[in-house]
Amino acid sequence: MQLDQAKQLRELESQLNAEYQAILAKKLNLDLTRGKPSSDQLDLSDALDGILKGNYIAADGTDTRNYGGLDGLPEAKKLGANIMGVEAANVLVGGSSSLTLMFQVALTAHLFGLKDAASAWKHEGDIAFLCPVPGYDRHFTICEQLGIKMINVPMTATGPDMDIVENLIKSDSKIKGIWCVPKYSNPTGVVYSNETVERIAKLGKIASPNFRVFWDNAYAVHDLIDNPPQLASILEATKKHNTEDSVIQFASTSKITQAGAGVAFVAASATNLAGFKKALSACTIGPDKVNQIRHTRFLPDRSALMAHMKKHAELLNPRFSAVLDALAKAFDGTDLGNWEKPVGGYFVSFDTRKNCAKETVRLAAEAGVKLTPAGATFPYGKDPDDRNIRIAPSVPTVPDVVAAMQVFVVCVKLASVRQDLAALG
């Protein structure tokens, strides 16, 4: 029986290898690595340049061309509020990058204190952040840069495993934060359930002082379908539990208008905003308000915003379908991989069998299909199970996504069957 199995595996490997060799001969050059908008998506916002028609004055009379306005224009705060579903009074508008705002908030909390100088994390020695995995590599880089230890927490279909999160926080007073991408999580595409949001809002009650949830709502309005899942309001939940200071929200228009030239936002309690503004005032006179007013003229209200996002969805949808159809056709009912079926965001996350991710990525690269390096979705670039691969289909054309996924499927199968063969000896 084992001999039969080995024979079958060898036959399968040989057949897959033939398919793989045929792919190699095509000399493909395809790229599923970075989560950035395609040119077609960027074209949707080309009206930004020239939209001011000589009128650089904000609604409150501010001359946007001059210095000042550390926390942004009132109408830009409203735009941020529309995206994040919060009050404009809780919003600070930054430059073009929410990542920079996250770094600056983390730096402020670490060195200067968000509440006061005594609240700075640096006074507590080696502190740590919880990192739901797989997650966003640039979040992890911020921790690494600031010398903050990272502790992995598994993601589930409803968000981070909250039993583990709560237990870790209760048992370790050095834990000062957690990274969250609550809607269309990077990379799994999961939307945090109402219960998860509620439990995260309560972490401020069990955590040590100065604990902060970094709530990176990067895909808040980035739905692919008409009746998308609703993310519960973390702000309302923290108000209910009197933990408003424990959560800081981030968003930007990077994947709404121009990826490199959008407007970024922080939403937080009055205490957090005051502490952040104090630190911010040492390093800037104020953000680019001309770009803010361009954006508010382009997206004047929530309905303009949602209509604009629908155009993105029309471009992204066939690409996501190409990925999900290929995965379903190849792996439904098999034990070769697991994945979520996101209805928004920028990624599909695929878990191979244990110890097959690196080999799959290597095989794909040799066949001309670039994938994000295996491990990149984990702190320090180390996926302990070597399983997770992030697929980013937004940039290539639909036929290219289809072609790339054909390669991906063959590579997953080949890595798996070769692993089986190796196990047989």
Q: How far is the CB of 217 from a copy of itself (least distance, A)?
A: 18
Binding residues with a copy of itself: total (CB under 8 A): 53
Q: Which stretch binds a copy of itself (CB under 8 A): 52-60, 124-132, 324-332, 348-356?
A: 52-60
Is 186 near a copy of itself (CB under 8 A)?
no
Spell out, one character per residue from 208 to 247, where the chain touches a copy of itself: x when CB under 8 A holds, - when not: ----------------------------------------
Question: Which one among 3, 4, 50, 332 touches a copy of itself, defined by CB under 8 A?
Answer: 50
The answer to the question of residue 372 lying near a copy of itself (CB under 8 A) is no
Site string for a copy of itself, 243-262 (x = CB under 8 A): -----------x---xxxx-
Please identify, using beta-carbon distances, which residue of 185 and 394 lies nearer to a copy of itself.
394
Of positions 134, 160, 187, 287, contacts a copy of itself by CB under 8 A: 287
Q: Give the nearer residue to a copy of itself in terms of CB position, either 52 or 88.
A: 52
Task: Give dist(CA 285, CA 23) in Å, integer.
Answer: 55
Kindly state whether residue 281 participates in binding a copy of itself, applying the rule CB under 8 A.
Answer: yes
Binder among 97, 349, 372, 377 for a copy of itself (CB under 8 A): 97
Minimal distance, residue 353 CB to a copy of itself, in Å: 32
Tell me: does residue 56 bind a copy of itself (CB under 8 A).
yes
Q: Find the part of the chain contacting a copy of itself (CB under 8 A) among 30-38, 196-204, 337-345, 382-390.
A: 30-38
Residue 345 CA to residue 220 CA, distance in Å, equals 9
Residue 315 binds a copy of itself, judged by CB under 8 A:
no
Question: Beta strand pairing status for 264-267 and 247-252?
Answer: antiparallel
Residues 115-154 that bind a copy of itself (CB under 8 A): 138, 141-142, 144-145
* Binding-site member from 290, 313, 330, 398 for a copy of itself (CB under 8 A): 290
Q: Which of 282, 335, 399, 425 binds a copy of itself (CB under 8 A)?
A: 282
Binding site for a copy of itself (CB under 8 A): 34, 36-37, 39, 42, 45-46, 49-54, 56, 63-69, 95-97, 99-100, 103-104, 107, 112, 138, 141-142, 144-145, 254, 258-261, 279, 281-291, 294
